[in-house]
Amino acid sequence: MLDPAKDGKPALQALIARGLGEAVSVGDVSQLSGGASSATYRVEVEDGCGLRQLIFQRTAGDNGNGIPRRVQAEVQTRAGALGVPVARVIATTVAEDDLGDGAVTELVAGEALAPRWLRLPEYAAAREALTAQCAEALAKLHSAPVGHWTDLPLKRGSGAELLADMFGWYRRIGVNVPAYDLAFAWLKPRMPATPATCLVHGDFRSGNFLVGADGLTAVLDWELTHLSVPAEDLGWLCAQAWRFGQWQLPVGGFGTREALLEAYGGGVTAEELHIWEVYGNLKWGMSCLQLADDHVSGRVPSVERAAIGRRVTEVAADLTYLLAFGEL
């Protein structure tokens, strides 16, 4: 597989030209910091519009449960047509490009690092606006019926089925965490058995947004999108891990549950949100457990995975508190 910043520049230039339908010249290509599942590059391009910057992102290593970039790109494009703020997709790779599973998008202005926009004074107005903006973006995404997405190879499941799959995952890892056992037992009679009603982003949270001075500018990272129910996205946004130390504001570290539900406009009750918030915290705990197992087993030796894996006990404490007191 070619390196986009080195021997892969000609292939990247051809990919962008194919997407734009015109000749382009690629200048500097620099790798940006990113998550464990993706490698992200800023690409300087000169085309008929002059000199500008684009983003090339490709899957790095094991994609886990993620969907291919071409499917992500189609979901992102359709979400944008529904009114969700997203970066415009320019091109997706094919095998002949030898650039991996990747996509080129426009560069959208905004800060991606949640600890910065959650704390710095210049984002104070953004934080005030974000709860309503996130609720509006999710309401627009969830407004499309399941049939809008059924031509795409997306996973689906009821809450009960998602929980059963997660419990099977837990048993395969073979580590017993008492607080996780308690959470599974608490959730089992409460998770809905009704079929999926909409597409959910699957990882809608602080850290997967671009935020500008006035608030939300783009929703990022669509690799975990699937068919489910609206409350899954709202509950995940409330998980403790995505508050980045701003624990007193349960909605992503910037808002309240009451304001989120009011701005969302109905269809999700406080009780449903609570159930899916428990589910979201457990899901994050399972991700930590999986990353720890990847490292300890020697399957994927990684300091990053080991460090995140240590948060298994942190999530256990969060789940215990959430179940004992009803909120976290």
DSSP reduced 3-state for 120:
coil
65-98 tens-digit pLDDT: 679 999 999 999 999 999 999 999 999 999 999 9
Sign of the torsion angle spanned by Cα atoms 91, 95, 98, 101:
positive
Per-residue confidence (pLDDT) for residue 63, from 0 to 100: 52
DSSP reduced 3-state for 64:
coil
Residues 6+ apart with CB under 8 A from 75: 67, 149, 152, 154, 199, 222, 225
d(CA 277, CA 252): 12
Per-residue confidence (pLDDT) for residue 304, from 0 to 100: 87
Q: Pick the closest to residue 322 from 231, 254, 257 (CA basis).
A: 257
Strand ranges inside 33-156, DSSP E: 38-47, 50-59, 89-92, 102-106
| C-alpha dist (Å) from residue 98 to 90, 94, 184 | 18, 8, 43
DSSP reduced 3-state for 236:
helix
Per-residue confidence (pLDDT) for residue 68, from 0 to 100: 93
Q: Pick the closest to residue 224 from 26, 63, 44 (CA basis).
A: 63
Q: Which residues of the chain have a pLDDT value below 70? A: 34-36, 61-65
Give the percent of the chain with pLDDT over 90.
88
DSSP reduced 3-state for 17:
helix
